Amino acid sequence: MLLDAPALEARVTPEVALSIVQKALAKKGWTGVSVNEVRLVYTPFWVFSFDIVAEKGSSPTGKTGLNAFTGELNDLVPAILDRPIKKSRETVKGGKPEIEPTAVSYREVKETAATKIAAHVGGIKADSVVVSAVSKLYVPFYRVWIDVAGDTFKFEVDGALGIPMGLEDVPGKAKGWEEETGEALGKLKSPSGWVDLFSRLFSAKGGGSPVQRYAVLALIILALVFLVFVVPSMGGVECKPDSGFYSPSKWFGLVKGGLSPEYRAGKFVVEGECYVTGDFAS
């Protein structure tokens, strides 16, 4: 389909756009979500430069975009234009994209943009905003509708860079037993992870859900049983703190050296490495 203005190349495929949204939702705890629809939409934008004429002091300048369909300002488009992305008047071949109409005409864009910028900045009149270098550009977006958190949400992924939008509207999901257990097991692989688990478990604030605290406690108990009863029969455990966490002896040995933990964000932290030695084949 031929457009009336250049469009950014849609380098992101529908599959990749959906994957971006699903991965972002998974970080919030939502997996196995139901996908309703993935649609490619070309949205028209007016891209322009502006100057704010001030009576005193410097005159701020900038570049932004105005959604020609909704009439809203958008700072994403100028940022995308700074990237080396190809442009074409043709839409993606083989697909049936939706082309949104241009509701704000070229004659209206300067006045509309000046009013929007004045309202956004505050304390200035639209007459103080000078709009110039106006050009039209289409930006491809993938709109993804997904059932999650007991509702249907619409997300957008720009087809040029793959930046997702709308994820802030989805609440985070409390982690279950299996998820908390897997996370805690990963932390038990390093000394810093042990310190973090203990600090979370015995924090005065009692942070975390009951499921999380019980999962952490159970794993710590199992790990301690392993270290106390199983490891000694197979070999031994040797832990060495990093040099920055160990203070040497002072005053010719009268004051003995020892661990010197750091205090970070309300937690005492010691970093280093632990080695388990012995015959694990038996």
- How confident is the model at residue 205, as a pLDDT? 45
Distance, CA of 79 to CA of 88 (rounded, Å): 18
Q: Are residues 56 and 112 in the same domain?
A: yes
Question: What pLDDT score does 258 carry?
Answer: 62
Residue 254's pLDDT is 44
* Nearest residue to 61 (alpha-carbon basis) of 8, 130, 1, 114: 130
Q: Domain check: are 120 and 199 in the same one?
A: no
**Nearest CA to 52 among 113, 140, 142?**
113
Determine the pLDDT at residue 195.
Answer: 62
**Is the full-model pTM beyond 0.75?**
no
Contacts 24+ apart (CB under 8 A), 264-271: 267/195, 267/196, 267/199, 268/195, 268/199, 269/192, 269/195, 270/191, 270/192, 270/195, 270/241, 270/245, 271/191, 271/192, 271/241, 271/242, 271/244, 271/245
Beta bridge partners of 132: 49
pLDDT for residue 123: 83
Based on the fold, state whether residues 82 and 148 are members of the same structural domain. Answer: yes
Indicate whether 217 and 130 sit together in one domain. Answer: no
The pLDDT, as a whole number, for residue 206 is 45
Query: Are 8 and 146 found together in one domain?
Result: yes
Same domain, 204 and 153: no
Parallel, antiparallel or unpaired: strands 262-264 and 267-269: antiparallel
pLDDT at 39: 96
Residues spanned by the domain of 42? 2-169
- In the numeric block, the tokens 């997300």 are attached to 155
d(CA 58, CA 109): 25
156 with 210, same domain?
Answer: no
One digit per residue, the tens of pLDDT, for the chain of length 282 reads 899 999 999 999 999 999 999 999 998 989 889 999 999 999 999 999 999 987 766 678 899 999 999 999 998 888 888 888 999 999 998 778 999 999 999 999 999 999 999 999 888 899 999 999 999 999 999 999 999 999 999 999 999 999 999 999 999 887 665 666 666 666 656 666 656 655 655 554 444 556 555 655 665 666 655 555 554 555 555 677 777 766 665 444 444 556 666 766 666 677 777 666 655 554
Count structural domains, the chain.
2
